[in-house]
């Protein structure tokens, strides 16, 4: 058994205020609490992280995040808060802010508020997998594709071509039975964990990425009105579980949509 200390980890929860697809989605009420509350409480209750930090450009979001137990030691600068701003910018901003105070972390995890059904045990399971895999740069949540990319096409003018022009025993993938195609996985927003050193390579994940297979509803991502409706229907039917939030709900000025 190794006597090495457990690597330190910080949870980073991104919550910019300028969502275009669903206005204010990160603080929209779901199950009685703003959606961001579930990522904060799951991170805290997992026991994995030294710090649980929300990166936001909004003073209102910051106040809500603190109510649910997160730290918001700074507001994200506008230049890192656009709808096309790459993740590496706000992540480096967050970690550099701590490093300037002499606080460094071996690893970081991104927990996006749009994945509220990620439970504390989900995070603990991912952390355990991350620590047991030698030689990886990061771990990312994935789930099996329901629509195989081998059946997808790009249309250019009046002609279309397959996205993946591969063959299976001489037959194009688009003409192959689904069961004969290789299993393909798609990333979801549930979580990412990476060694902090990967940022030096200009990426947030490095080149050697381990899969973390989410189970059941852990990987549900809420990004549009259809997603909201599905999530609320599942909650109403008690077919889905949100992380426990044993704090008074913050509802001031918020909407359930």
Model pLDDT, residue 77: 85
Helix (H) or strand (E) holding 206: none
Give phi and psi for 74, each to the nearest 5: -160, 160
Model pLDDT, residue 1: 42
Please give the structure tokens belonging to residue 60: 């209102």
- pLDDT tens for each residue of 133-161: 999 999 999 999 989 999 999 999 999 99
> CA 99 to CA 80: how far, in whole Å?
18
Looking at domain 9-142+186-236, which CATH architecture does it have? Alpha-Beta Complex (3.90)
Strands 29-30 and 33-34, sheet pairing: antiparallel
Model pLDDT, residue 19: 63
| Domain locations in the chain as residue ranges | 9-142+186-236, 146-183
Alpha-carbon Rg for the chain, nearest whole angstrom, is 20
Closest Cα partner for 184 from 175, 172, 173? 173
Sign of CA dihedral 83, 94, 221, 17: negative
Instruction: Tell me the pTM.
Output: 0.91
Model pLDDT, residue 93: 93
Own/partner long-range contacts of 84-91 (Cβ < 8 Å, ≥24 apart): 85/16, 87/14, 87/204, 88/199, 88/202, 88/203, 88/204, 90/14, 90/55, 91/12, 91/55, 91/199, 91/204
Q: What is the mean pLDDT of each successive set of 10 residues along the chain, which is 257 residues long?
A: 78 85 84 96 98 95 97 88 83 95 97 97 98 96 94 97 94 94 94 97 96 95 91 91 94 72
């Amino acid at each position: 058994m190794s006597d090495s200390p457990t690597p330190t980890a910080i949870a980073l929860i991104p919550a910019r205020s300028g969502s275009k697809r669903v206005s204010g989605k990160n603080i929209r009420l779901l199950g009685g609490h703003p959606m961001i509350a579930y990522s904060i409480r799951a991170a805290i209750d997992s026991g994995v992280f030294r710090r649980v930090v929300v990166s936001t450009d909004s003073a209102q979001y910051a106040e809500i995040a603190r109510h649910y137990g997160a730290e918001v030691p700074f507001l994200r600068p506008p230049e890192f808060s656009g709808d096309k701003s790459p993740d590496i910018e706000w992540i480096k901003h967050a970690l550099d802010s701590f490093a300037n105070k002499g606080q460094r972390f071996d690893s970081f995890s991104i927990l996006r508020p749009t994945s509220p059904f990620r439970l504390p045990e989900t995070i603990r399971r991912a952390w355990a997998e991350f620590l047991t895999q030698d030689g990886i740069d990061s771990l990312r949540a994935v789930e099996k594709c329901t629509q195989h990319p081998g059946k997808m096409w790009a249309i250019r003018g009046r002609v279309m071509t397959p996205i993946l022009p591969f063959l299976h025993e001489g037959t194009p993938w688009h003409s192959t039975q689904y069961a004969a195609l290789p299993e393909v996985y798609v990333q979801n927003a549930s979580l990412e964990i990476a060694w902090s050193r990967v940022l030096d390579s200009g990426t947030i994940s490095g080149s050697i990425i381990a899969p973390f297979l989410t189970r059941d509803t852990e990987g549900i991502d809420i990004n549009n009105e259809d997603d909201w409706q599905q999530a609320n229907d599942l909650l109403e039917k008690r077919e889905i579980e949100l992380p426990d939030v044993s704090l008074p709900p913050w509802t001031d000025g918020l909407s359930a949509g």
